[in-house]
């Protein structure tokens, strides 16, 4: 039966008692064994048995998770066992190496849980008197005591116990001692310079640290060797976390005086880690891969952790220095006033405090460990004690006489070491602690070593006599009663005093002095050739900069970090951005120094980099709303969000950022204090900070300032308008994802915040007017303020209604800003247009009774066309108001304005055929009249003037009697169209452009007029080659405006609302839903001209090409043109290397189409390459030889590095579309391009005659295209090694069939052996090596009359095609280091191998596939020298290919397995009329 669980527990408890009662006795036995080992010599076998048994005790789980009393007893056993092992280590130096080796297998058996990891007590809690500069959390338990790993304590104690008494002087060391020391330290780090190594070795021998250094050297080398092993070999994966925990323990105890050996271990570790990393970076790529990648990350993290700890110690020493005397003269620190200088920083509390009897500074009694009952008669603070002791010691050890000699940091450190030694001596004597005694001896040896090194560096270091100090230090080695009086000097030092002494001494150790070298190693690795090392080194530097941001001010650090901003690896750039981001957040005042660098990375191609930049700017603006670079930063982020190509994650992050910054009522709680906000408000003109202003209002005012500055920087409010609309009403994200509730909440919050923002901008506008100095430059600020209001007028017009009276006076046009006056009046006119529909009847009547309409009319008479259009639009909006009565004031003024301008155009139309010859006033008036009438025709709405049927262009006629002009029945509109036609016939381009622009207003408001214009041939004429560039450009712009206007009318619901507002509309009409039946007319008309639009892609004017692509984008989005026809032309525009804006816009459209139809993009790639080739050949000028400048390559220099990167025209399409994501898509694309090299059956011209010359020229003309395609294949950014292998495979297939067929035809023509036509070098190949091949006797066979020269020339042309393909094959093989074995084993159907992914080029040279021209231009004559060289080159490359290539794997139909076929097994008919089949390998 199964025993009861309670019964088992009771039985076990009965056993626990007797077992635990033996623990005390066992501890006593271990202590006795320790004493026995120290005093007696033991046998090695027994010694190792005892040592192994004592070390095994470290594997006991002594955590309280087991049982509280058991844990304490187990800890006692472990401490006793460790003391026994340390005694063996000290007593038997010859066995130290073996014992050190035994530690490593022991490490793998140690407890690994967090509770049982650190159980060795190193320091008890001292309450409030403890310094807070050390992180206690990883080492402290619930009682506040601090612990480390037992294995770390054992290592530290073992090293400290190896110290020996130093020599009395440097001359006491013998050559034999030097030899012994050199042998003992023979494993020292190889990365040290020989001179420094010899100095350190001699200093260790002299000071008694040679044995300690040997143990450190052995342990660190063995530890790192185990960590660097590959895979799981030797427990490498287990040793790396052990190394991590070991370094954490060492960094913690380096601030404790009882463990000085931690500094030595860290020094050796840092040296070896730096050596390993530098060794890895100096290898070639093939050998660098032998270094385990995981170990590189571990080593870099460890080195960064050590370096950051050293930097932290140095910073702490600078910030918490003692006030120590700088000379021997007394009276340097006479008290001036009584102040609270307690190190806790808590101020004057209602508690017991002490006054220093020397400097009269006050300290809390609890902080210095003194109560009211224990106050001594005389009490000095730590600074005063140190000052007194230093002055007394200076009198004893100073060289020479005089009280004015300066005291250096080295002199201060001598005294601080003496105080620390006195403290350790007292502790060792009081508590009989052997650990404290060993620590004291180690400090003495370290002091002696520094004195030795100081003497070697300089004979004059400080004021103290170093020989005298050395003798004094060594004399303290044996503890004596005479030293007790020295201990009295330190009995009043507080715990904080000793901690500050340790901080000063740690900052002067060898490791701390080596900090520049450690940082230099990291900076050197930042420039390494391996991206992984650069990334890891940046992260390590980030650890260092986080503890001491001032390091970023060093030129060397800033130079390397700035260079990484332009690194080719995204991970490195992200690490550099993170480094600088953390730095500028910690040091906001220096953020401007890196502003330009950070701003540049907002355009980075890495999504993670762009996200990090956005977060950095968000945090900067939250922390410091008045940041100097806020305008440019916000503008750059808004541009990225408006970019349709931008990643959705980045765009959402930017939207969220601006919602937090500008439209979140709680944003002021996220980073800015009340005091900072009040200071900001003080800097606002016309506003005084008061207690009444809330934090939210102040922050809102600052947000409005940011928005105004963004508008000022961008020069246009369009991007900001798009953002505000999106934040208020959504960015068309849909309502089916999980974030819909959060977006709705944000939209509601944004709408609530908009009212405050508008009020803040109005307040800024009023403050600007109050403090305005009437300077001309003030107009720019005024335009920015008004443009910001126009943003809200378009997004949320209701908010501007209460403030309309503030804006209307600006329409007067006398704003003391002559340069910006047109922009001011046009901006306010736009605001009126947007807001007018929300006026009540009373508000509308009030404004019309004033001078608003008169001011708008005056603007139309006085200002340029842009302001005229805005003013007329505003006047039309007021006239179209639902509450406006028939024949209102504004309608009468609008009609009068229209009649006056019409009359002027009527009077002027026949005066001059070329208005450029007319007076400037006439030209200006014509421009103004055309702009005004075009705007009237576009914006005025007339209910009874709807075009019900197709219009006859004969109905458009000029009305000479202006009294008959009226808005009703489109009378004015028809007359304007006719007169616009007259001005479109003018000779000068400027007038034609203006007339076309005015006519566009009619097209937008009356789509059926477009049909009439099509019948009249206006559209064909304006797009034809006969039209000037300006007219063509304006025509494209007009069509874009028409498409956008139609799209906006449909999507906004304006047509539906207009139909619903009609009273006479029938129910059936409403149900049928054709609210705007004319909306598709313009798009349909333009579709008929798609062929002409495609032809315009080859036009030489880059502006026309850019606007053409923009128009094509709108047509594609609205589904008005066929993407299959359009994609090749967009691919062709990737060859527009001299107009990057056009390339970028075409790329966006290609990416969009590729996401929708990836197969279509792949299928059209060959046509796109041909189109790009033809584009460059037709558009770009020719070189000095008259040849077209055609290239598929683009070379860009990476800023900051000077490195030149080669890209193809289609790299961006390849990377940013979905083509590179799927293997099938990639291979299909490669087959499309390689297919250009395949021989066309129809082009075989065996029987050449005069009727086939055109076909021969076709083969000749095809060579530049093939060279163009080969450049693309040679330099595409391949994802995997299978990509170039696929191209090599298909190239081999084509060469095996078409190439061998050409060889056979050459042999038949020349009379050679057609069975084996290319077995060896022939006479023509020998002739090709000569300077003049055609004149050589070897080439005589070509001129004996038996050879058809035209056939030979044509065969050379076909051979040139194969030469390009063979060169491409060799280039890919060499660039990617592909072996012949791998090529022979490759099959297109195989899966990608994991280790072949992420391929990179070994050689960055450019592909040279150039071939010589066989036929002279426009002649049938053959260049025989070129032909002979081409013949020889082809045969050589074919022989090399035959020797290198293994059997070609030809896949059969899907129903049969692929069989292997050798190239020499191809059946060849012995005839020159052989026809090669078309090869399409899978």
* Bridge partner list, 319: none
Q: Classify burial at 432, counting beta carbons within 10 Å of its beta carbon; exposed 0-12, middle 13-18, buried 19 or more.
A: exposed
Residue with tokens 């309309």, as numbered in its chain: 804
Q: Does residue 1187 register a pLDDT over 70? A: no
Q: Are 1208 and 1271 in contact (CB under 8 A)?
A: yes
Question: SS3 helix, strand, coil % of the chain, rounded to 5?
Answer: 65, 5, 30
Distance CA 169, CA 186 (A): 24
Q: How confident is the model at residue 1066 (pLDDT cuts 50, 70, 90)?
A: low
* 1267-1310 pLDDT, tens digit each: 999 999 998 888 788 899 999 999 999 998 888 899 998 888 88
Q: How confident is the model at residue 302 (pLDDT cuts 50, 70, 90)?
A: very high
* CA 1106-1108-1114 angle, 5° bins: 110
> H helices then E strands: how many in the chain?
65, 8
Residue with more model confidence, 935 or 963? 935
Distance CA 634, CA 657 (A): 10
- What pLDDT does 319 receive? 81
Q: Does residue 176 register a pLDDT over 90? A: no
- The candidate with the shortest Cα–Cα distance to 292, out of 220, 232, 244, is 232
Q: Is 1450 strand, coil or helix?
A: strand
* Bridge partner list, 120: 148
Average pLDDT of 1111-1127?
A: 90
* 751-800 pLDDT, tens digit each: 888 888 999 999 999 999 888 877 767 888 899 999 999 999 988 899 99
Q: Tell me phi and psi for residue 354, to 5 degrees.
A: -115, 150
% of the chain exceeding 90 in pLDDT = 21
Distance CA 305, CA 1336 (A): 74
Q: How far is CA 1272 from CA 329, 1225, 1363, in A?
A: 80, 17, 16
Pull the structure tokens for residue 1395: 């280790």
- What pLDDT does 946 receive? 57
Distance CA 540, CA 304 (A): 4
Pull the structure tokens for residue 549: 């941001």
Q: Does residue 950 register a pLDDT over 70? A: no
pTM above 0.75, yes or no: no
Distance CA 827, CA 874 (A): 11
Q: How far is CA 1035 from CA 546, 928, 998, 1003, in A?
A: 58, 20, 11, 12
Q: Does residue 171 register a pLDDT over 60? A: no
Distance CA 47, CA 34 (A): 12
Residue with more model confidence, 1317 or 831? 831
Lowest-confidence pick of 530-534, 574-578, 1244-1248: 1244-1248
- What pLDDT does 904 receive? 92
HSE on the CB side for 1181, CA within 13 Å?
5
Mean pLDDT score across all residues of the chain: 79
Q: Please report which residue ranges of 162-260 form alpha helices under DSSP H.
A: 175-184, 194-207, 210-227, 236-253
Q: Please report which residue ranges of 1024-1101 form alpha helices under DSSP H.
A: 1029-1051, 1054-1061, 1067-1072, 1081-1087, 1090-1095
Average pLDDT of 592-617?
A: 87
Residues sharing a CB contact under 8 Å with residue 1053, sequence separation 6 or more, in sequence order: none
- Cβ contacts of 941-950, under 8 Å, gap ≥ 24: 941/876, 941/880, 942/967, 942/968, 942/969, 942/970, 943/1062, 944/968, 944/969, 945/969, 945/970, 945/973, 947/1006, 947/1008, 947/1009, 947/1078, 949/1008, 950/1008, 950/1011, 950/1012
- What pLDDT does 401 receive? 61
Q: Is 1280 strand, coil or helix?
A: strand
Distance CA 466, CA 618 (A): 57
Residue with more model confidence, 1202 or 553? 553
**At 1194, which helix (H) or strand (E)?**
strand 1193-1197
Q: How confident is the model at residue 1080 (pLDDT cuts 50, 70, 90)?
A: confident
Residues sharing a CB contact under 8 Å with residue 1048, sequence separation 6 or more, in sequence order: 1054
Average pLDDT of 672-683?
A: 46
Q: Classify burial at 862, counting beta carbons within 10 Å of its beta carbon; exposed 0-12, middle 13-18, buried 19 or more.
A: middle
Q: How confident is the model at residue 191 (pLDDT cuts 50, 70, 90)?
A: very low
Lowest-confidence pick of 83-92, 499-508, 1200-1209, 1366-1375: 1200-1209
* 378-411 pLDDT, tens digit each: 888 887 888 888 887 877 787 766 556 677 778 7
* 810-820 pLDDT, tens digit each: 998 888 888 88
Average pLDDT of 733-750?
A: 66
% of the chain exceeding 70 in pLDDT = 79
Distance CA 798, CA 838 (A): 6
Residue with more model confidence, 1469 or 298? 298
Average pLDDT of 12-24?
A: 66
Average pLDDT of 139-158?
A: 77
Residue with tokens 């155009």, as numbered in its chain: 905
Average pLDDT of 330-352?
A: 70
- How far, in whole angstroms, is CA 1454 from its chain's centroid? 47
Pull the structure tokens for residue 484: 């007790």
């Amino acid at each position: 039966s199964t025993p009861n669980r309670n019964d088992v527990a009771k039985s076990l408890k009965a056993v626990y008692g007797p077992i635990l009662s033996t623990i005390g006795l066992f501890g006593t036995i271990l202590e006795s064994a320790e004493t026995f080992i120290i005093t007696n010599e033991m046998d090695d076998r027994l010694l190792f048995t005892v040592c192994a048994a004592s070390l095994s005790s470290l594997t006991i789980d002594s955590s309280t998770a087991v049982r509280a009393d058991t844990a304490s007893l187990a800890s006692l056993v472990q401490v006793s066992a460790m003391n026994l092992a340390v005694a063996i280590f000290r007593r038997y130096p010859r066995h130290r190496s073996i014992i050190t080796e035994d530690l490593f297998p022991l490490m793998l058996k140690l407890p690994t849980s967090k509770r049982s990891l650190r159980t060795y007590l190193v320091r008890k809690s001292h309450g409030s008197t403890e310094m807070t500069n050390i992180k206690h959390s990883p080492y402290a338990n619930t009682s506040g005591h601090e612990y480390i790993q037992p294995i770390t304590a054992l290592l530290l104690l073992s090293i400290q116990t190896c110290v020996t008494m130093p020599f009395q002087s440097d001359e006491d060391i013998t050559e034999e001692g030097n030899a012994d020391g050199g042998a003992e330290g023979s494993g020292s780090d190889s990365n040290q310079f020989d001179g420094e190594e010899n100095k350190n070795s001699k200093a260790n021998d002299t000071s008694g640290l040679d044995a300690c250094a040997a143990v450190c050297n052995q342990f660190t080398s063995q530890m790192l060797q185990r960590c660097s092993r590959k895979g799981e070999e030797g427990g490498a994966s287990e040793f790396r976390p052990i190394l991590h925990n070991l370094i954490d323990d060492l960094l913690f105890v380096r601030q404790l005086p009882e463990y000085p050996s931690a500094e030595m271990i860290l020094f050796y570790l840092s040296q070896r880690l730096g050596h390993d990393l530098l060794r890895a970076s100096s290898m070639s790529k093939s050998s660098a891969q032998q270094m385990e990648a995981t170990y590189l990350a571990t080593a870099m993290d460890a080195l960064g952790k050590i370096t950051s700890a050293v930097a932290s110690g140095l910073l702490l020493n600078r910030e918490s220095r003692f006030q120590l005397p700088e000379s021997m003269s007394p009276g340097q620190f006479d008290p001036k006033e009584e102040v609270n200088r307690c190190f806790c920083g808590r101020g004057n509390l209602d508690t017991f405090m002490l006054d220093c009897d020397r400097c009269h500074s006050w300290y809390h009694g609890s902080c210095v460990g003194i109560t009211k009952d224990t106050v001594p008669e005389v009490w000095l603070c730590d600074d005063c004690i140190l000052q007194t002791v230093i002055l007394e010691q200076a009198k004893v050890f100073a060289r020479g006489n005089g009280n004015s000699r300066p005291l250096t940091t080295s002199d201060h450190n001598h005294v601080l070491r003496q105080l620390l030694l006195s403290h350790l001596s007292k502790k060792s004597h009081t508590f009989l602690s052997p650990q404290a005694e060993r620590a004291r001896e180690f400090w003495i040896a370290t002091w002696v070593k520094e004195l030795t090194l100081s003497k070697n560096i300089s004979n004059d270091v400080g004021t103290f006599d170093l020989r005298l100090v050395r003798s004094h230090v060594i004399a303290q080695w044996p503890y004596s009663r005479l030293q007790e009086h020295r201990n009295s000097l330190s009995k009043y030092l507080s715990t904080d005093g000793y901690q500050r002494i340790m901080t000063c001494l740690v900052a002067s150790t060898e490791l701390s002095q080596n900090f520049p070298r450690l940082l230099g190693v990291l900076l050197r690795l930042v420039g390494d050739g391996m991206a992984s090392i650069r990334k890891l080194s940046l992260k390590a530097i980030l650890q260092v900069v986080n503890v001491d941001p001032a390091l970023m001010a060093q030129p060397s650090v800033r130079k390397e970090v700035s260079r990484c901003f332009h690194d080719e690896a995204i991970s490195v750039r992200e690490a550099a951005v993170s480094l600088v981001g953390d730095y500028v957040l910690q040091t906001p005042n220096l953020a401007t120094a890196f502003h330009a660098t950070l701003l540049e990375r907002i355009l980075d191609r890495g999504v993670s980099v762009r996200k990090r930049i956005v977060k950095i700017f968000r945090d900067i603006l939250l922390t410091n709303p008045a940041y100097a670079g806020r305008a440019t930063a916000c503008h750059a982020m808004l541009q990225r969000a408006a970019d349709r190509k931008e990643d959705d994650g980045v765009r959402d992050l930017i939207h969220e950022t601006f919602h937090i910054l500008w439209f979140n009522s709680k944003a002021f709680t996220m980073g800015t204090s009340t005091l900072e906000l009040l200071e900001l408000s003080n800097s606002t003109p016309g506003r005084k900070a008061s207690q009444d202003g809330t934090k939210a209002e102040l922050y809102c005012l600052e947000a409005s300032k940011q928005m105004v500055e963004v508008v000022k920087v961008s020069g246009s409010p369009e991007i900001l308008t798009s953002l505000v609309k999106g934040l208020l009403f959504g960015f068309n994200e849909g309502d089916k994802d999980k974030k819909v509730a959060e977006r709705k909440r944000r939209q509601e919050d944004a709408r609530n915040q908009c009212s405050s923002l508008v009020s803040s901008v109005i307040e800024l506008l009023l403050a600007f007017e109050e403090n305005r100095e009437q300077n001309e430059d003030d107009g720019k600020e005024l335009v920015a303020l008004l443009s910001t209001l126009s943003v809200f007028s378009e997004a949320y017009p209701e908010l501007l209604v209460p403030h309309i009276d503030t804006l209307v006076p600006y329409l007067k046009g006398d704003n003391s800003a002559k340069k910006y006056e047109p922009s001011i009046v046009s901006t306010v006119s736009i605001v009126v247009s947007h807001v007018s529909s929300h006026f009540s009847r009373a508000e509308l009547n009030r404004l019309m009774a004033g001078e608003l309409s008169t001011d708008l009319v005056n603007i139309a008479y006085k200002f340029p066309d842009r302001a005229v259009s805005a003013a007329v639009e505003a006047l039309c909006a007021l006239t179209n108001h639902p509450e406006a009565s028939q024949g209102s004031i504004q309608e009468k003024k609008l009609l009068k304005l229209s009649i006056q301008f019409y009359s002027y155009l009527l009077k002027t139309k026949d005066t001059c055929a070329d208005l450029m010859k007319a007076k400037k006033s006439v030209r200006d008036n014509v421009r103004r009249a055309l702009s005004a009438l075009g705007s009237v025709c576009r914006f005025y709405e007339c209910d009874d003037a709807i075009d019900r049927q197709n219009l006859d262009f004969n109905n458009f006629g000029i009305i000479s009697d202006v009294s008959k002009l009226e808005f009703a029945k489109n009378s004015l509109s028809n007359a304007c169209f006719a007169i616009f036609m007259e001005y479109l016939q003018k000779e000068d381009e400027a007038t034609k452009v203006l007339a076309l622009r005015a006519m566009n207003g009619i097209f937008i408001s009356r789509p059926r007029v477009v049909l009439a214009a099509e019948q009249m041939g206006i559209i064909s004429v304006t797009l034809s080659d006969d039209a000037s560039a300006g007219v063509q450009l304006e025509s494209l712009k007009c069509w874009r405006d028409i498409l956008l206007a139609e799209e906006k009318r449909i999507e906004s619901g304006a047509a539906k609302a207009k139909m619903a507002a009609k009273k006479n509309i029938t129910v059936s009409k409403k149900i049928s839903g054709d609210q705007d039946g004319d909306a598709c007319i313009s798009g349909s008309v333009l579709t008929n001209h798609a062929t002409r639009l495609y032809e315009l892609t080859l036009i030489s004017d880059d502006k026309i090409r850019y606007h053409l692509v923009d128009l094509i984008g709108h047509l594609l989005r609205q589904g008005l043109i066929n993407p299959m026809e359009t994609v090749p032309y967009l691919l062709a525009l990737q060859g527009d290397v001299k107009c990057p804006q056009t390339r970028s816009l075409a790329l966006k459209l290609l990416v969009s189409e590729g996401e929708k139809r990836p197969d279509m993009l792949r299928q059209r790639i060959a046509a796109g390459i041909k189109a790009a080739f033809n584009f460059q050949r037709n558009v770009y000028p020719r070189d000095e030889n008259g040849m077209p400048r055609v290239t598929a390559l683009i070379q860009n220099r990476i800023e900051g590095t000077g490195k030149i990167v080669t890209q193809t025209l289609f790299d961006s399409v390849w990377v940013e579309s979905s083509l590179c994501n799927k293997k099938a898509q990639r291979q299909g694309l490669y087959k499309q391009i390689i297919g250009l090299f395949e021989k066309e059956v129809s082009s075989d011209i065996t029987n050449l005659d005069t009727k086939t010359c055109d076909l021969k020229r076709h083969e000749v003309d095809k060579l530049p295209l093939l060279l163009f395609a080969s450049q693309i294949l040679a330099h595409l950014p391949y994802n995997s090694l299978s990509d170039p292998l696929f191209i090599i495979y298909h190239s081999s297939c084509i060469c095996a069939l078409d190439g061998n067929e050409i060889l056979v035809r050459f042999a038949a023509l020349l009379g050679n052996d057609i069975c084996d036509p290319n077995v060896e070098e022939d006479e023509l190949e020998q002739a090709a090596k000569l300077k003049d091949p055609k004149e050589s006797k070897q080439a005589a066979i070509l001129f004996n009359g038996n050879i058809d020269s035209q056939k030979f020339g044509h065969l050379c042309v076909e051979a040139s095609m194969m030469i390009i393909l063979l060169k491409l094959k060799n280039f890919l093989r060499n660039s990617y280091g592909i072996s012949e074995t791998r090529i022979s084993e490759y099959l297109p159907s195989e899966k990608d191998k994991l280790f072949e992914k992420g391929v990179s080029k070994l050689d960055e040279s450019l592909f040279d596939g150039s071939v010589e021209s066989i036929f002279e231009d426009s002649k049938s004559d053959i260049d025989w020298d070129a032909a002979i060289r081409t013949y020889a080159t082809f045969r050589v490359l074919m022989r090399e290919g035959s020797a290198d290539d293994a059997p070609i794997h030809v896949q059969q139909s899907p129903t049969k397995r692929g069989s292997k076929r050798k190239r020499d097994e191809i059946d060849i008919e012995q005839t020159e009329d052989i026809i090669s089949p078309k090869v399409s390998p899978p």
